[in-house]
Amino acid sequence: MKIALKAQAYICEIVILLLLTISAKSQGLQIGDRISDFELKKIINYKSSSARLTDFTNGKALLIDFWFSSCSSCIESFTKLDSLQNEFQDNLNILLVTYEPKEKVFKTFNTIRRISHVKLPTVVSDTLLHLAFPHLSAPHQIWIDKDGKIIAITDHSQLIRKNIRALITSEELNLPLKKDDFKFSFELPLASIFANNNTIKYSFFSNYQPGIPSSSGFYIDPESGLLIARSTNVDFQKLYVQAYNQWGNDFNYNRIILEDNVLDRLKPNGQSINSFCFEIWWKDTSKVNACSEMQIELDRFFKIRSFSEKRKMQCIILREIGEKKRYQSQLASGITDAYSKNDTLFLDNVKLRYPIKNILNYGRYAWSPFQFIDETNYKDRVSIQLPKRFESITQVNQFLKDFDLEVKIEDRLIDVIVIKDAVETQ
């Protein structure tokens, strides 16, 4: 009898999986649906390596968080998720879910110091829950009440105590729906038109497209051999950085010289935040020619005249002081981290380009509307500290002097992109 019941349970599970596969091709489980009681077979940080999904409800609310290791927003949300789990442990379970294997998951948590303490139950190498809740981008969070009913599907922006309390107490919870656009594919033209081998040139331009991640770059299509320039949901400055082949070259926005009333015409507009999708396919795979044509296309669309020239610009120069080189990291090669504590930003065992490109170069701080240039010529890893909020060069140097470094504002002759308005003023 027990064997028959067990076989029946497996048959039910297969039927559920097939139904989810069919459902996932359309929408998957939606708000208002009840979760299915299927088995999760690969779980870490839990009392057993397998469980039923309903084991995580059982009178408690459940938050399912889909993530992957290269998703920075996912990583940053873990400490908040851990804090919420500790605060509401009597009424809430939080379940992390990833398609990645447990080896990669353990490596992620062990090498990033600020999340090494997080021990939330995690489903690894998952396919079943991804079929039940299909999505393109992460974090992707499913809010389930204590009765197993799906209440909301969101990104991480709704993860606040007020909303968690409402979920636990079964109050009305009207959160913005995260709805990914499953028509989008990185492998297809943005206009959903397949290019064939006879294509010489194809171009596409649109305003902001909801549900599509922001990206930018050049690549060769392996099937057609066409050179493709593609940008999705980026501002017009980033389009010009790509068109002048400066993407990835630590090209600061202050090197885009906006003249006339260009910025006035391209101010943010509602939800689109003045972002665009742009794509060109070329038979000619010369990147120099492609960039030239991209400049012409952009100028025509925005009614702009653009060109590149060298100008003497104020830059922030990073240089060594003394000979001790205390900025050089002494940590083991596999350990790296970046975190803030109180008023200090700690950078442990990172490439020196990390604070240049990811922190200083893109205007995160009020005092840095300048190109940042590293003149230390040091290519290996560093461990340094910086102020969390920059106030002045003097303040920055108070931190850097302990690592035999300093920054100065000095003139350098550098390439800039000049953009003039081609619209006739009346």
Mean pLDDT in residue range 152-162 = 94
Specify burial of residue 327 (Cβ count, 10 A radius: 0-12, 13-18, 19+). buried
**What value does the mean pLDDT of the chain take?**
83
Q: What is the pLDDT of residues 170-193, one digit of tens each?
A: 999 999 999 887 666 666 665 454
By the 10 Å C-beta count (0-12 exposed, 13-18 middle, 19+ buried), 127 is classed as exposed
Instruction: Give the model confidence (pLDDT) of 100-109 as tens digits.
Output: 999 999 999 9
Higher pLDDT residue, 74 or 274?
Answer: 74
| Cβ-based neighbours of 6, under 8 Å, separated by 6 or more | none
Predicted pLDDT of residue 30: 92
* Residue 273, pLDDT above cutoff 70: no
Stated as kind and residue range, the H or E segment containing 241 is helix 236-243
Residue 360: pLDDT band with limits 50, 70, 90: low
What tokens were used for 67? Answer: 């993530």
Of the listed ranges 9-13, 180-184, 205-209, 380-384, the one predicted with least confidence: 9-13
Q: What are the residue ranges spanned by the domains of the chain?
A: 2-168, 201-302, 313-416
14 vs 224 pLDDT, higher one: 224
CA distance 94 to 80: 11
Tell me the pLDDT band of 310, cut-offs 50, 70 and 90.
very high
> Which has the higher per-residue pLDDT, 359 or 170?
170
Which of 15-24, 324-333, 410-419 comes out lowest in average pLDDT? 15-24
Q: pLDDT tens across 5-29, in order?
A: 444 444 444 444 444 444 444 578 9
Q: Is 295 exposed, middle or buried (0-12, 13-18, 19+ CB in 10 A)?
A: buried
- pLDDT confidence band for 84 (50 / 70 / 90): very high
Secondary structure (3-state) at 355? helix
Dump pLDDT digits (tens) for 235-263: 888 899 999 998 877 788 788 888 877 76
Q: Are 414 and 253 in contact (CB under 8 A)?
A: no
Mean pLDDT of 333-348: 82
Q: Are 62 and 95 in contact (CB under 8 A)?
A: yes
- At 336 the pLDDT is 80
Which of these ranges, 49-53, 137-141, 410-414, 422-426, has the smallest mean pLDDT?
Answer: 422-426
Instruction: Say if residue 138's pLDDT is above 80.
Output: yes
pTM: 0.59
pLDDT of residue 122 exceeding 90: yes
Average pLDDT, integer, range 43-55: 94
Homologous superfamily assigned to 2-168: Glutaredoxin (3.40.30.10)
Of 397 and 123, which is predicted with more confidence? 123
**pLDDT at residue number 359:** 54
Please give, one letter per residue, the 3-state secondary structure of 25-61.
CCCCCCCCCECCCCEECCEECCCCCCEEHHHHCCCCE
User: How distant, in Å, are the alpha carbons of 216, 244, 258, 301, 362 from that of 307?
Assistant: 21, 9, 11, 15, 22
- Cβ atoms of 308 and 420 within 8 Å: the answer is no
Cβ-based neighbours of 379, under 8 Å, separated by 6 or more = 351, 352
Q: What mean pLDDT do residues 355-366 have?
A: 51
| Token digits of residue 11 | 């048959």
Question: What is the predicted pLDDT for the residue at 198?
Answer: 62
End-to-end CA distance of the chain: 88
pLDDT for res 370: 79
Residue whose entry in the numeric block shows the structure tokens 């090669």:
333
Question: Span 50-79, mean pLDDT?
Answer: 92
Look-up of token digits 């091709």: 25
Q: The dihedral of CA 54, 58, 63, 69: what is its sign?
A: negative
